[in-house]
Amino acid sequence: MKTLLAILLIGTATPVMAQHAGHTMPDPEPTPAPAQVETPDPDDTDHSQMDHSAMGHDTGRVAPPDDSVREATDQPATHGQSQMDHGTMTMPIPSSPPPASAGSGPPRAADAIWGADAMRASRAQLRHEQGGQTYFWFQGDRVEYRAREGGDGYLWDVQGYYGGDIDKFWFKSEGEGSFGEEIEGAEVQALYSRAIAPFFDLQAGVRQDFAPRDRTYAVIGIQGLAPYQFEIDAAAFLSSKGDLTARIEAELDQRITQRLILQPRAEVNLSAQDVPELGIGFGLDTAELGIRLRYEFAREFAPYIGVEQEWRVGQSADYARANGEDPSVTNYVIGLRFWF
Amino acid sequence: MLMMNRRGLLGAGAGAAGLLGAAAITPAWARGASLDGRHIRAGFDEVSGGSIDLTIGEGPRVVQGRRGHAIAVNGSVPGPLVRLKEGEAVRLNVTNTLDEDSSIHWHGLLLPFQFDGVPGVSFPGIRPGETFTYDLPPIRQTGTYWWHSHSGLQEQAGHYGPIVIEPAGPDPVQADRDYVLLLSEFTPMHPHTIMDKLKKGEGYFNYQRTTWTDDYPLSGEDRRMWAEMRMMPTDILDVTGSTYTYLANGHGPMEGLEFLFNPGERVRIRVINGSAMTFFNVRIPGARIHIVAADGQNVRPVPVEEFQIGTAETYDFIVEPTGEAMTIVAESMDRSGMAVATLASRPGARAPVPALRDAPLLTMADMGMSGMDHGASGEMDGMDHAAMGHGPQNPGSTQQPEQLEAMNMEGMNMRDTSMLPPDVEVGPGIDMVAMNPVDRTGDPGIGLDKVPHRVLTYRDLVALEPNDDLRTPSRQMEIHLTGNMERFMWSFDGKKFSSVSEDPIRFAYNERVRVKLVNDTMMAHPIHLHGHFFELVNGAPADRQPQKHTVIVQPGGSASFDLTADESGDWAFHCHLLYHMHAGMFQIVTVAPQGDAPEQERVGEHG
């Protein structure tokens, strides 16, 4: 697991080229614009003390500044202010490191005044408060009642984390069933989650199923936000029996108004083998397509209604039929999305 | 409301000023510590003299019917106006009656670093029940500043107030009346709750997002492009009017803050942005104003009709109000709310309050792609910049007249980390790298590029007095402002303060350095350096570059300043958006002690 993690991390590291080298940019094409020169109202302040001639210009709107030497040579030289005195601006400024004497002071100036002991606690607190904090988040993404033919049911899909910006403990739980029957499926995942890219976390850990059977899995996956704002959660599971399965979920928030949000959702479960005792078939095992319409009374509290279609496919469908179940089920759902 | 009068009291203002004078006899701090369940007052008293007492307390606060908990100094929000005098020393005795540590930072003041008031950098902080004395030597500056807590998130809860430093000699800015307008926010939410929501719910406070039913001038292609980037064109401010009531001197917009005037008078307004997270667009419909000072430093008067003020900046302006009343509007940059005050010729006089304007959208320039889909227009001509070693010059405004139409995103890499210098740490905390981060000091600020009147830009600012250090900087350093909007991570050079607290930015004593700030995010950041003034490289002649303590770096752009590092010690350097700082956009600047370093000769040095 560690090796895999390391490989993935290396894969995301990007070579850093020095000092903007290789930065090619189309040259901005200069087009003339009306000069925005305005003279300050002489009534406002006494300007008689000011030496305008020494300043070399006398307009209210000053010339744009020197930007950097780097870009100087590839720019069309068609602008300037003839009255400006550039005498002090002609030499390029080097990007050299600080002189040796920059490090000549005490490592912490305040220690010399107040004492290192007096400063210790506040220094630690400052470090903690400016970026070192941890947060706890819990989300009920789908907690819903499911109306359907042949017995209504329920479903929960919750997750949360505790941790900082990069490293987190992440947990997930899903489960579903029909009222008056034994629970059909229930699982809990405990994951280490590490931010590996601006929008993605790599997650690894264990999954424990309690229904339909107790079973333990190793988990590796990614979770995050894909281009076009798709919320993605994809994971592979290796069971203690050696069975390999995978699950990919995608959600997309489409705002109709600031608070009314339509959320299409898709999920597929895949399997590398038949797992008859769990009703899992090789290849595409199950697919779900749903749409939910929620209203955010608050960002944290959003009841929804929706419809979701589930299909069991291929061998999996055969397992379902053998069990007296319909491989295709339509659920009309009402539920709550919440977080804190 | 507080009134200060320089040329004598006139007409309607006299009675009010007299009352204030009487109130000043009873020490304000005597009422401050124990509030006995009374509500915290809006508005502020004034404290002055050689020894000033301030007491930090807390209590309930109500703004326009919304209730919350506040931290208040001397019993009011904002806390008292601290009036100082150039050339005079002052002892500020600050008593903390909270049950947690507190502090006061004197924002913009030149002082020994150990009295700068940042716990963990300049001093240990003020413990509960403790009184700490800031023993300041003779004040070396004049103008408009402010003070605020630098502990935790106390500033959001009301722990701030204005500072005015009177010049020893005559003030070059002459006015009949002199008022402070301190802009801030009230929220019933606890500041830690706000931070929590920002971390967990991306766009939590933004109720101006693009939807299927919005009126934004965005094509389907534009919308797909923003979605592809996983970013929002409406991400203007992180915390908005959905929770904030914007305040003028502690008063909500319906609470009727008045500044009295007599027709024909020149009124000076000292605008302080004491908010935690808000940029304001300030204007007086129907009036032309003259900006006369920026960050406390006098500038050549600039006539404008509107200006944007970043968090922690100050601007002084002069206005000659006409008619019975005029409205001072301070609209939040995202236009989700406004603070309001009235210039009134008699108590109760009112002028119409304009409606909020349409919410702005981020532009190509904000994405760091200035000039990449159109020709940059040159303002001036006849000069060979290339031959002079000059940089490319963008026009006065880098914002685009059109939205993203005709922009082909094919092949665009919004996060080309190879463009970053090697000292930037590339990681999940960087979601964007500006492709073409041009100098944007010519920009009026987000949403103000298309208004039909003149708006201030940094390039309008020209120091009134010549600067005292005309040396060409001996080196240039580049600092990248980095972030991840989705994760609410903010940092300098990709490194949060929590990971670089032992590795400060180092300057030699009296070193002259050009610091270029490159904004690799789509948000505007007001960057503040404690204990110094730097000179904004805005195209003004070297001896007239305006001195500032806080500079806005526009999204996807850059800004540069020249710094003479002549204040020894450790100083905080951070984004002044409170929750950005709290997320890690903070560093320590260390200026080496003077030691045996010879005093360097300065060109144009003056007394």
Q: Cα–Cα distance between B396 and B380 in angstroms, integer?
A: 10
Q: What are phi and psi of A20, to 5 degrees?
A: 65, 20
Q: Which residues pair with A337 in a beta bridge?
A: A302
Closest alpha carbon within chain B to A94:
B475
Taking residues B352-377, report their average pLDDT: 79
Q: Average pLDDT for residues A266-280, to the nearest whole number?
A: 96
What is the C-alpha to C-alpha distance for residues B89 and B53, in angstroms, rounded to an integer?
A: 15
Check residue B601 and give its pLDDT: 52
Query: What was the pLDDT predicted at A91?
Result: 67
- B577–chain A Cβ distance below 8 A for any pair: no
**CA B427, B428, B431: angle at the middle one, nearest 5?**
105
Q: Where does the pLDDT of residue B535 fall: very low under 50, low under 70, confident under 90, or very high at 90 and above?
A: very high
Which residue type, as a one-letter code, is found at position B220? G
- Retrieve residue B149's tokens: 């807590």
**Which chain A residues touch B381 with a CB distance below 8 Å?**
32, 78-80
**Residue B221, min C-alpha distance to chain A (Å):** 12
Cβ <8 Å between B476 and A68 = yes
Task: Give the pLDDT band (50/70/90) at residue B331.
Answer: very high
| DSSP summary character for residue B39 | P
User: Of A16-30, A245-259, B401-415, B484-498, where does mean pLDDT reach its minimum?
Assistant: A16-30
Which amino acid, one-letter code, is at B78?
A: P
pLDDT of residue B261 exceeding 60, the answer is yes
DSSP letter string over A12-34?
H--PPPGGGTT---PPPPPEE--
Percentage of residues of chain A with pLDDT beyond 70:
73
B375 closest CB neighbour out of A30, A95, A125: A30
Mutation target for A interface from B115, B239, B390: give the one with most A CBs within 10 A: B390
Helices (H), B410-550: 497-500
Question: Hey, how many other C-beta atoms are within 10 angstroms of the C-beta on B486?
Answer: 17
Residues 324-363 of B with CB under 8 A from A: none
CB-CB contact of B535 with B561 (8 Å): yes
Domain ranges of chain B: 13-169
Question: How many residue pairs bridge chain A and chain B with CB atoms within 8 Å of each other?
Answer: 388
Residues of A in contact with B209 (CB under 8 A): 255, 258
pLDDT of residue B370: 76
Check residues B81 and A87 and name the one with the higher pLDDT: B81
Predicted pLDDT at A152: 95
> Would you state the pLDDT for residue B594?
86
Q: What angle do CA B267, B273, B274 make, to 5 degrees?
A: 120
Cross-chain Cβ contact A67/B560 below 8 Å: yes
Angle at B360 (CA atoms; ends B357, B365), nearest 5 degrees? 150
Residue A214 predicted with pLDDT over 70? yes
Closest CA to B75 of B98, B52, B107, B44: B44
B460–A61: do the CB atoms touch at under 8 Å? yes
Determine, for residues B491 and A131 on separate chains, whether the beta-carbon distance falls below 8 Å: yes
Model confidence band, residue B411 (pLDDT cutoffs 50, 70, 90): low
Reply yes or no on whether the pLDDT at A241 is more than 50. Answer: yes
Which is nearest to A241 in space by CA: A269, A205, A277, A268?
Answer: A277
B404 exposure class (CB count in 10 Å sphere: 0-12, 13-18, 19+): buried
Please tell me the distance in Å from A221's CA to the nearest CA on chain B.
17
Indicate the range of A65-74, A227-236, B180-189 predicted with least confidence: A65-74
Give chain A's largest Cα–Cα span.
100
- Report the side by side order of strands in the sheet with B90-96: B41-42, B76-77, B66-73, B51-63, B90-96, B131-136
Which run of H or E residues covers position A140?
strand A135-147
> Measured between CB atoms, does B127 come within 8 Å of chain A?
no
CA distance A252 to B271: 44
SS3 B512: strand
Are residues A31 and B376, on separate chains, in Cβ contact within 8 Å?
Answer: yes
pLDDT tier for residue B602 given thresholds of 50, 70 and 90: low
pLDDT band at A105 (very low <50, low <70, confident <90, very high): confident
- All structural domains of chain A, each given as residue ranges with its CATH number in brackets, are 135-339 (2.40.160.40)
Chain A touched by B133 (CB under 8 Å): no
Per-residue pLDDT band for B414 (boundaries 50, 70, 90) equals: confident
Q: Band of the pLDDT at B365, cuts 50, 70, 90?
A: confident
Average pLDDT value for residue range B242-255: 97
Please report residues of A whose CB lies closer than 8 A to that of B229.
227
What's the rounded Cα separation, in Å, for the pair A22 and A19?
9
The C-alpha atoms of residue B551 and residue B352 are separated, in whole angstroms, by: 33
Mean pLDDT of B456-475: 95
pLDDT band for position B202 (cuts 50, 70, 90)? confident
d(CA A301, nearest CA chain B) in Å? 12
DSSP state for residue B391 in the 8-state scheme: P
**Per residue in A150-209, pLDDT tens?**
899 999 999 999 999 999 999 999 999 999 999 999 999 999 999 999 999 999 999 999
The span from the CA of B71 to the CA of B191, in Å, is 11
Residues B291-320 have a mean pLDDT of 98
Task: Please write down the HEC assignment for all residues of A231-298.
Answer: EEEEEEEEECCCCEEEEEEEEECEECCCCEEEEEEEEEEEECCCEHHHCECCEEEEEEEEEEEEECCE
pLDDT over 70 (residue A331): yes
Residues of A in contact with B152 (CB under 8 A): 129
Query: Which of A23-37, A157-171, B208-222, B445-459 has the least mean pLDDT?
Result: A23-37
Option in B302, B393, B592 nearest A64 (CB): B393
Q: Cβ contacts (< 8 Å) between A92 and chain B: which residues?
A: 389
Q: How many CB atoms lie within 10 A of CB B423?
A: 13
- Cβ contacts of A87 within 8 Å, gap of 6 or more: none
Of B122, B475, B491, the CB nearest to A95: B475
Tokens of A26: 């189309």
DSSP state of B495: B
The average confidence (pLDDT) of chain B is 88
Q: Which of A256-260, B7-11, B92-96, B581-585 has the lowest mean pLDDT?
A: B7-11
Q: Tell me the nearest-neighbour CA distance from B336 into chain A, angstroms.
A: 14
Read off the pLDDT of each residue in B422-434 and give the average, rounded to a whole number. Answer: 93
Query: Architecture of B13-169 per CATH?
Result: Sandwich (2.60)
Return the pLDDT at B600. 57
Contact B47/A at CB under 8 A: no
CB contact under 8 A, A75 and B392: yes
Q: Which two tokens stand for residue B248?
A: 């003028």
Residue B392's pLDDT is what?
35
Helix (H) or strand (E) holding A3: helix A2-12
ipTM of the complex as predicted = 0.85
Confidence of residue A36 (pLDDT cuts 50, 70, 90): very low
Q: Identify the pLDDT of residue B243.
A: 97
Strands B289-294 vs B160-166: parallel, antiparallel or unpaired: unpaired
Is there a contact between A16 and B420 if contact means CB atoms under 8 Å apart?
A: yes
Q: Please identify among residues 212-251 of chain B the ones whose CB lies closer than 8 Å to any CB of chain A.
A: 212-213, 224, 227-230
Q: Do B377 and A47 touch (CB under 8 A)?
A: no
Q: What pLDDT sits at residue B5?
A: 43
- State the virtual CA torsion across B591, B596, B600, B606 in degrees, nearest 10: 80
Tell me which residue has tokens 């900082």. A164
Average pLDDT, chain A: 80
Task: Tell me the backbone φ, ψ of residue B102, rounded to 5 degrees.
Answer: -145, -175
Residue B378 and residue A32: Cβ atoms within 8 Å?
yes
- Determine which helix (DSSP H) or strand (DSSP E) holds B579, and give its type and residue range: helix B578-583
Q: How far apart are CA B467 and CA B541, in angstroms?
A: 10
How far does B164 lie from chain A, in Å, by closest CA? 20
Q: What is the chain A residue with the closest CA to B507?
A: A102
Quick one: which H or E segment has residue A160?
strand A153-163
Question: How many of the other CB atoms lie within 10 Å of CB of B436?
Answer: 24
pLDDT at position B409: 53
Residue B255 pLDDT > 60: yes
- In angstroms, the CA B300 to CA B293 distance is 8
Q: Is B275 helix (H, G, I), strand (E, B) or coil?
A: coil
- Looking at the complex, report in whole angstroms how far the Cα of residue A257 sits from the nearest Cα belonging to chain B: 5
Dump strand ranges (E) for B295-394.
297-304, 306-309, 314-319, 325-332, 338-344, 377-378
Q: Which residues pair with B327 in a beta bridge?
A: B342
Which chain B residues are within 8 Å of A226, Cβ to Cβ?
Answer: 230
Which residues is A263 bridged to in the sheet?
A292
**B204: Cβ contacts below 8 Å, ≥ 6 apart:** A299, B197, B198
pLDDT confidence of residue B376: 35
What CA–CA distances, in Å, run from B507 to B64, B221, B285, B512?
48, 48, 45, 9
Side-chain-facing half-sphere of B120: CA atoms under 13 Å: 23
The full length of chain A comes to 340
